[in-house]
Protein backbone atom coordinates (compact mmCIF):
# COMPACT_ATOMS: atom_id res chain seq x y z
CA UNK A 1 0.00 0.00 0.00
CA UNK A 2 1.29 3.47 -0.87
CA UNK A 3 -0.17 6.89 -0.01
CA UNK A 4 1.03 10.23 -1.39
CA UNK A 5 0.64 13.89 -0.51
CA UNK A 6 1.92 16.98 -2.30
CA UNK A 7 2.30 19.65 0.36
CA UNK A 8 2.65 23.37 -0.26
CA UNK A 9 5.63 24.94 1.52
CA UNK A 10 3.68 27.08 3.94
CA UNK A 11 3.20 26.37 7.63
CA UNK A 12 -0.60 26.40 7.26
CA UNK A 13 -0.23 23.21 5.18
CA UNK A 14 0.99 21.31 8.25
CA UNK A 15 -2.67 20.91 9.32
CA UNK A 16 -3.31 19.11 6.01
CA UNK A 17 -0.26 16.93 6.71
CA UNK A 18 -1.63 15.91 10.13
CA UNK A 19 -5.02 14.96 8.63
CA UNK A 20 -3.30 12.91 5.90
CA UNK A 21 -1.08 11.10 8.42
CA UNK A 22 -3.98 10.36 10.76
CA UNK A 23 -6.05 8.84 7.96
CA UNK A 24 -3.12 6.88 6.57
CA UNK A 25 -2.01 5.45 9.91
CA UNK A 26 -5.56 4.57 10.96
CA UNK A 27 -5.77 2.43 7.80
CA UNK A 28 -2.53 0.74 8.87
CA UNK A 29 -4.00 0.12 12.34
CA UNK A 30 -1.14 1.67 14.26
CA UNK A 31 -1.54 2.29 17.99
CA UNK A 32 -2.44 5.80 19.16
CA UNK A 33 1.02 6.24 20.70
CA UNK A 34 2.77 5.15 17.49
CA UNK A 35 0.52 7.48 15.47
CA UNK A 36 1.31 10.48 17.68
CA UNK A 37 5.06 9.84 17.76
CA UNK A 38 5.34 9.24 14.01
CA UNK A 39 3.21 12.31 13.28
CA UNK A 40 5.54 14.37 15.46
CA UNK A 41 8.63 13.09 13.62
CA UNK A 42 7.25 13.50 10.08
CA UNK A 43 5.79 16.92 10.89
CA UNK A 44 9.12 18.07 12.34
CA UNK A 45 11.01 17.15 9.17
CA UNK A 46 8.37 18.76 6.93
CA UNK A 47 8.19 21.92 9.07
CA UNK A 48 11.98 22.27 8.95
CA UNK A 49 11.94 21.94 5.16
CA UNK A 50 9.10 24.44 4.80
CA UNK A 51 10.71 27.02 7.08
CA UNK A 52 14.45 26.57 6.54
CA UNK A 53 14.81 25.14 3.03
CA UNK A 54 11.91 26.91 1.32
CA UNK A 55 11.44 30.05 3.45
CA UNK A 56 7.66 29.37 3.53
CA UNK A 57 7.40 29.89 -0.25
CA UNK A 58 3.89 28.72 -1.20
CA UNK A 59 5.08 28.17 -4.79
CA UNK A 60 7.35 25.31 -3.62
CA UNK A 61 6.19 21.81 -2.70
CA UNK A 62 7.23 18.83 -0.62
CA UNK A 63 6.25 15.34 -1.74
CA UNK A 64 5.44 12.74 0.94
CA UNK A 65 5.05 9.06 0.13
CA UNK A 66 4.05 6.54 2.76
CA UNK A 67 4.93 2.93 1.99
CA UNK A 68 3.74 0.04 4.10
CA UNK A 69 6.10 -2.92 3.79
CA UNK A 70 6.01 -6.12 5.83
CA UNK A 71 7.22 -5.21 9.32
CA UNK A 72 7.92 -1.55 8.59
CA UNK A 73 6.47 1.71 7.38
CA UNK A 74 8.53 4.16 5.30
CA UNK A 75 7.87 7.89 5.09
CA UNK A 76 9.71 9.29 2.06
CA UNK A 77 9.91 13.09 2.03
CA UNK A 78 11.28 14.72 -1.14
CA UNK A 79 11.85 18.32 -2.15
CA UNK A 80 14.02 20.57 -4.30
CA UNK A 81 15.05 22.99 -1.53
CA UNK A 82 18.38 23.58 0.15
CA UNK A 83 19.73 20.20 1.21
CA UNK A 84 19.92 19.39 4.91
CA UNK A 85 21.26 16.00 5.86
CA UNK A 86 19.99 15.33 9.35
CA UNK A 87 22.44 12.44 9.63
CA UNK A 88 25.22 15.06 9.80
CA UNK A 89 23.34 17.03 12.48
CA UNK A 90 25.30 17.46 15.68
CA UNK A 91 23.16 17.24 18.79
CA UNK A 92 23.40 20.48 20.76
CA UNK A 93 24.42 20.47 24.41
CA UNK A 94 21.07 20.37 26.20
CA UNK A 95 22.38 22.33 29.19
CA UNK A 96 23.52 25.09 26.83
CA UNK A 97 20.13 25.16 25.06
CA UNK A 98 18.38 25.34 28.43
CA UNK A 99 20.75 28.06 29.66
CA UNK A 100 20.19 30.16 26.54
CA UNK A 101 16.41 29.67 26.89
CA UNK A 102 16.22 29.42 23.13
CA UNK A 103 13.30 27.95 21.27
CA UNK A 104 13.88 25.28 18.68
CA UNK A 105 16.84 23.14 17.86
CA UNK A 106 15.57 19.98 19.53
CA UNK A 107 13.19 18.57 16.90
CA UNK A 108 15.82 16.53 15.09
CA UNK A 109 16.71 14.85 18.40
CA UNK A 110 13.07 13.74 18.70
CA UNK A 111 13.01 12.48 15.11
CA UNK A 112 16.12 10.38 15.73
CA UNK A 113 14.63 8.93 18.94
CA UNK A 114 11.23 8.13 17.42
CA UNK A 115 12.26 6.61 14.09
CA UNK A 116 14.27 3.40 13.82
CA UNK A 117 16.16 4.38 10.67
CA UNK A 118 16.80 7.62 8.81
CA UNK A 119 18.20 7.76 5.29
CA UNK A 120 19.13 10.84 3.28
CA UNK A 121 20.11 11.29 -0.34
CA UNK A 122 20.47 14.21 -2.69
CA UNK A 123 20.61 13.71 -6.46
CA UNK A 124 19.81 15.85 -9.47
CA UNK A 125 18.46 18.69 -7.33
CA UNK A 126 16.06 16.46 -5.40
CA UNK A 127 16.61 15.76 -1.71
CA UNK A 128 14.98 12.71 -0.16
CA UNK A 129 14.70 11.87 3.52
CA UNK A 130 13.36 8.43 4.46
CA UNK A 131 12.03 7.91 7.96
CA UNK A 132 11.59 4.22 8.74
CA UNK A 133 9.68 2.69 11.64
CA UNK A 134 9.89 -1.06 12.29
CA UNK A 135 7.04 -3.01 13.88
CA UNK A 136 6.91 -6.42 15.53
CA UNK A 137 4.88 -8.91 13.54
Predicted confidence (pLDDT) per residue in 91-112, tens digit: 666 566 556 655 556 678 889 8
Q: What's the whole-model pTM score?
A: 0.86
Q: What is the pLDDT of residues 19-42, one digit of tens each?
A: 999 999 988 888 899 999 999 999
Backbone phi and psi for residue 29, each to the nearest 5 degrees, phi listed first: 60, 45
Distance from CA of residue 8 to its chain's centroid? 14
Mean pLDDT of the chain: 87
Q: What is the pLDDT of residues 40-74, one digit of tens each?
A: 999 999 999 999 899 999 999 999 999 998 899 99
User: In the chain, what are the domains?
Assistant: 2-134 (3.30.565.10)
Reduced to 3 DSSP states, what percent helix, strand and coil does the chain have, rounded to the nearest 5?
40, 30, 30
CA atoms within 13 A on the CB side of 36: 3
CA distances from 21 to 3, 76, 93 (A): 9, 13, 32
Amino acid sequence: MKHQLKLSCQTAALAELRVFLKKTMEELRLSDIDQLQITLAVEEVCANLIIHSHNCNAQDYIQLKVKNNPGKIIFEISDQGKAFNMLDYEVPDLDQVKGEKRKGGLGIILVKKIMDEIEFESSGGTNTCRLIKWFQS
